[in-house]
Amino acid sequence: MKIEYQIFHKAEFDKKLRVLLAKMLEEQGKIQGNFNSKIDRCKLLCVATIDNNQIAIGAIKQKTSSDFDSQKAGLSDLCNDFEWELGYLYTQKDYEGHGLATNIVRLLINSYGNDNLMASTEITDNPAMVKILKKNGFRLFGKPWKSSIHNCYLGLFLKFR
């Protein structure tokens, strides 16, 4: 089993990547809205494949400004310090626990460069993602907030350069 990773920049996004991201986000079941347009928010997209099957994704996308609001993390004074967000991370269930998300996060951060970066994730229902973020220099800031989509709490993780 050979795992391959590929980083795509915005100029390389084509119909196949648009369909792939939409399919994976729908499988994940944690994002709302028009899945086909989510790629338009992305600067970078990383895809992991095994034997030509795409099994995991992640992206650097435009930040979710509302995560900084007083109804969420309560850090509106930091909102302007961040432009991009690590997000849309998903690994198909049969491949979870093999380090794919860890590698995708590392590759995206390396390709992204030396600017501030944010991420938000479930802090109780997804402890593996919290560990990945912390291992890559993110820290939890502000207050956790209740998800409007799922029965969990989210946290805002920030990485300052």
Amino acid 70: pLDDT: 97
How far apart are alpha carbons 158 and 161 in whole angstroms? 10
Q: What is the pLDDT of residues 40-97, one digit of tens each?
A: 999 999 999 999 899 999 999 999 999 999 999 999 999 999 999 999 999 999 999 9
Q: C-alpha angle 83/89/35, rounded to 5°?
A: 80
Q: Please say if the pLDDT value at position 141 is more than 80.
A: yes
Q: What is the DSSP string of 18-46?
A: HHHHHHHHHHHT---S-GGGGGGGEEEEE
Amino acid 32: pLDDT: 82
Q: Class assignment of domain 3-159?
A: alpha beta
Helices marked H in the chain: 15-28, 100-112, 127-135
Task: Copy the structure tokens of residue 90.
Answer: 């998903």
Amino acid 19: pLDDT: 94
Amino acid 92: pLDDT: 96
